[in-house]
Structure 1
Amino acid sequence: MSRRSRGLPRRAFVRSAVAIGGASAFAACLEREADDGPARASVDPDDRPERQHAWNSAVREDDHGNYLLPEHHVLCCLEYVGDGPTEGEREQLEAAFTSLERAYEWGSEGLAFTVGYSPTYFDRFDKDLSEAVDLPQPEALAPIEDPEPDAYDALVHLASDYGQAVVGAEEALAGELEELNGVGVEGTLEGVFDVAERRTGFVGDGLPAAEQANAADVPDSEPVPEDAPLFMGFKSGFRENQASEDRVTIRDGPFEDGTTTHLSKIDLNLHQWYEQDSREQRVAKMFCPAHADEGRLEGAGHNLGDGADVDDCGETAETDARERGVVGHTQKVARVRDGDEPLLLRRDCSSTDGDRAGLHFLSHQRRVADFVATREAMTGADLAGSTAVGSRTNNGILQYLTVRRRANYLVPPRRHRSLPTPNPS
């Protein structure tokens, strides 16, 4: 049964339970998903890919070959409270993560997850991590933003089409369950990591529209389209606008087969987006002016197939800024590529954490520098100043985003995912 056929009321109920979390939420998800639960693992954990970020082969695709992210997301920001790290702690964590892999099939039908470690975590070691991988401390990346850098040690990103899988995984890691999906839990985070912050999100056609009444900064007219997978009303994650998993994978060194993660917590100003701008203006600012002029988008843009069709728009960014007084978000980002391929693999999700409409922007890239370069293109400083395009106004979607938090993580290969050192053997 596909997730779309499960019915929006059920999906919205489960989404609300995931947002709450805890034992009662887990029980509620089990009850609501009793007739259609997550799949038990069919592959031994030892046979899983070394790449933690190898999700594409295990998630659904739409009719155009675009990868569809799992519907429910939980981001557990962790603080190290252990004694070392020690080998005993590594064995404990590995048992915990392996328990999740034995309980659920890898991917949307079960559970996909990554475990990443921050510069703060690696600062406790004498050896400099920069000899192995590019992982700077997070910082503001434009004059118009003032985010607070996260100082957590680690991040566990859980994702599934089933609420019981992500909440159950949380509960198991916290030591609250002895059995998960019929499989015994053999390890937990207890005594090694504390969950310092919990963030939740969702992706899927219809869910943002169902959630808009529960979030501030969305007009009372409830303008989010029913076919939109994200709050801003348009489809994202087109296959041709995403880096491949190979492109974002670290190719050599001790963390070969790993990647890096950038995570931003972003508030959305949807009053301005929907009440100030017409649909044509929104299309121009999200994609490019040519898309608006030519009526290329139908609804949320599912008709664009496997690409947002902005390659030609990237070449006209300066002309559009100068002559049209507006430049599109996707148009700006399209200027940063490695040959024909983007640098980032985005796996972000909408959120109503804190009862605000928001976005947890999560991307994988080989080097954090790749994210920085892409963010600089998105800032569009080279396009602003002499026209109606300002540092925020008419400059893509910058006017509608407020970056609250930033973080960088190294996502090691599976063999080093449990308390790695800067120079693992």
Structure 2
Amino acid sequence: MTDGDRTLTRREALRAAVAVGGSAGLAACLNLESQPTETGEANRNTDPPDGTESAAELPNRQHAWTEFSRTDKHGNPVLARHHVLLLANYVDDGPVDDVDRKQAANAFRELEETYRWASDGLLFTVGYSPAYFDRYDEPLSESVDLPRPAALAPFEDPSFDTPDLLVHLASDRASAVLEAKQALFGELETANGSEVTETIDGIVELVDRRTGFIGPGLPAEHDDVNGVPDGAVSEDAPLFMGFKSGFVENQATENSVTITEGPFAGGTTQHLSLLRTELDQWYNQDSREQRVAKMFSATHAAEDLVEGVGDNLGDSSLVSETGVGDRVSDDAFEEGVVGHAQKLARARDEDGDPRLLRRDFATVDDGRTGVHFLSLQESIADFIQTRTAMNGTDVANVGGVGTKNNNGILQYITTVRRGNYLLPPRSKRSFPRPS
């Protein structure tokens, strides 16, 4: 595959095919994945889920992905490389009828049985917005905290996502996320070698399709995108800003983000933001030491705690171990800078545990770099509390820290969109009733 006079690498071609989507994108992915990789093996796996004879044996929690995902050498879960977000509306007014509810349930179940339930096969969730629950006369159960999305900082003015449902598809195989979308919407006769018999075609209409990726090498392939300085993004970086994230000690567990009471026990809430990143400023304005201080803390920079993208940190960003979360005000006054991770440490719960389980990934949708920031938490209030800590308004104008300047990474990101969703347990995944 070529881009003008330049031949795309395999990784670039797969990412580009996911972005294009449709039959052409899928054909390109299948062709690339059927070719031998560096190890000489084809990059395709059509086996059924390990240890399961049917999707009925999978966990009731849709968001239970960790045990089905790869881990790195430090034990940190590794998110699947390719992602597709599908925002859609139910086609009729008012509540969903039982016939359509059953059709969707069958389609989601068939998708699970078509692919290995794992990051090397397909993982997916289906979430529902506050607007979806407005279709019903009865209110959403009080056991679920699911407010409408709102601006969460004095300096942001995002648009709000209000479609009824959000389907998140994730896989290490680019073909799987493309094929799964087409299978769901009745655009294929077969998927992964199996006949497609159940779809959501006719009961939902697609409103928006978004794509993304995460993993070493993938962001570095995009220095041809507007706003990415040539050669600035390390080949080892999994995200555009050049540092590793997802340390297991800095993530909430799947258990801790699970709703424990009420009709949606076993589910969770999901927040999705689209953040645009300003990489020219990030890489050209700041030195390496300044970037470390703004991403982590001044202590991390002064003591040279972060090597490269941060793989040396192991399973923790060291914000707890260094105690920098207690030094936010002091560092603002004395160092003139506070770190992103440093501020977030203040939002931990009473036991010192993180409130969010992040599953965010990079994007170049619309030809611009950004992050689809996707987090899971028991309550949207947990996300709001964490975002409030990130805003750092309490240290703005202290020392050298401004509202955004030297205030973590705020100067380099812009919130474009926000949306909130309920991920019901798998047993209620298909157009749930409010209670």
TM over 0.5: yes
Would the aligned equivalents of 1:110 and 1:165 in 2 still touch at CA under 8 Å? yes
- Counterpart of 1:25 in structure 2 is 25
The letter of the residue matching 1:296 is L
Distance in 1, matches of 2:329 and 2:141, equals 36
**1:320-399 correspondence runs (5 A):** 320-338=331-349, 339-399=351-411
Of residues 260, 265, 284, the one that matches 2:269 is 260
Pick from 103, 113, 119 the counterpart of residue 92 of structure 1: 103
Contact in 2 for aligned 1:95/1:186 (Cα 8 Å)? no
Structure 1, unmatched stretches of 5+, are: 1-7
Q: 2:161 aligns with which of 150, 154, 176?
A: 150
Say whether 1:234 aligns with 2:243: yes
1:273 to 282, 294, 298: 282
Distance across 2 between alignment mates of 1:23 and 1:69: 26
Aligned equivalents of 2:348, 2:141: Cα separation in 1: 24
Match of 1:40 in 2: 47
Q: Deviations over 1:323-382 (max 9, x none)?
A: 111000000001111212100000000000000000000000000000000000000111
Is the 8 Å Cα contact of residues 131 and 162 (structure 2) preserved in structure 1? Answer: yes
Moved more, 116-125 or 313-322: 313-322
Instruction: Give 1:40 deviation, angstroms.
Output: 2.8
Contact kept? 2:141, 2:263, Cα under 8 Å: no
- In structure 1, the residue corresponding to 2:109 is in which secondary structure? helix
Q: CA deviation at 1:416?
A: 0.5
The secondary structure found in structure 2 opposite 1:198 is strand
Deviates more, 1:176-185 or 1:158-167: 176-185
- Tell me which moved more, 195-204 or 29-38: 29-38
CA contact (8 A) 2:332 2:398 kept: no
**Residue-by-residue CA offset, 1:124-156 (whole Å, 9 max, x unaligned):** 111111523000000000101000111111100
Mapping 1:96-245, distance limit 5 Å: 96-213=107-224, 215-219=225-229, 221-245=230-254
User: How far apart, in 2, do the equivalents of 1:371 and 1:167 lie?
Assistant: 30
CA contact 1:22–1:171 (8 Å) conserved in 2: yes
Residues 121, 176 of structure 2: 8 Å contact kept:
yes
Distance in structure 1 (CA, Å) of the matches to 2:254 and 2:398: 39
Amino acid at match of 1:61: T
39-48 vs 105-114, greater mean Cα deviation: 39-48
How far did 1:222 drift? 2.8
CA contact (8 A) 1:52 1:258 kept: yes
Per the TM alignment, residue 165 of structure 1 is displaced from its structure 2 partner at its CA by 0.5
RMSD, aligned α-carbons: 1.1
CA distance in 2, matches of 1:419, 1:131: 18
2:223 partner SS: helix
TM-score, normalised to structure 1, is 0.96
Deviation, structure 1 residue 39: 3.7
Q: Distance in 2 between matches of 1:398 and 1:306?
A: 25
Q: Which runs of 4+ in 1 moved over 3 A?
A: none
- Residue 61 (str. 1) matches residue 71 (str. 2): yes
Letter of the 1:163 partner, please give it. A
SS of match in other structure, 2:125 = strand
d(CA) in 1 for partners of 2:243 and 2:171? Answer: 22
1:322 shift after superposition:
1.1
| Stretch of structure 1 that moved more, 315-324 or 61-70 | 315-324
3-state SS of the aligned residue for 2:394? helix
Q: Would you say 1:313 and 2:324 are equivalent positions?
A: yes
SS at match of 1:31: helix
> Which structure 2 segments of 5+ residues have no match?
1-7, 35-41
Q: What secondary structure sits across from 1:303 in the alignment?
A: helix
Contact 2:141 2:262 in 1 (8 A): no
State the Cα distance separating 1:62 from its structure 2 match.
0.3
Aligned length: 414
Distance in 2 between residues matched to 1:185 and 1:135, nearest whole Å: 34
The superposition leaves residues 266-294 of structure 1 with CA deviations (integer Å, 9 ceiling, x where unpaired) of 10001110010000000000000001001
Q: What is the alpha-carbon distance in structure 1 between the residues aligned to residue 128 and residue 227 of structure 2? A: 33
* 8 Å CA contact retained: 1:39, 1:109: no
Whole-angstrom CA distance in 1 between matches of 2:127 and 2:404: 32
Instruction: Provide the residue aligned with 2:38 in structure 1.
Output: none
Deviations 1:28-66 (A, max 9, x none): 111111222134323211101000000000010000000
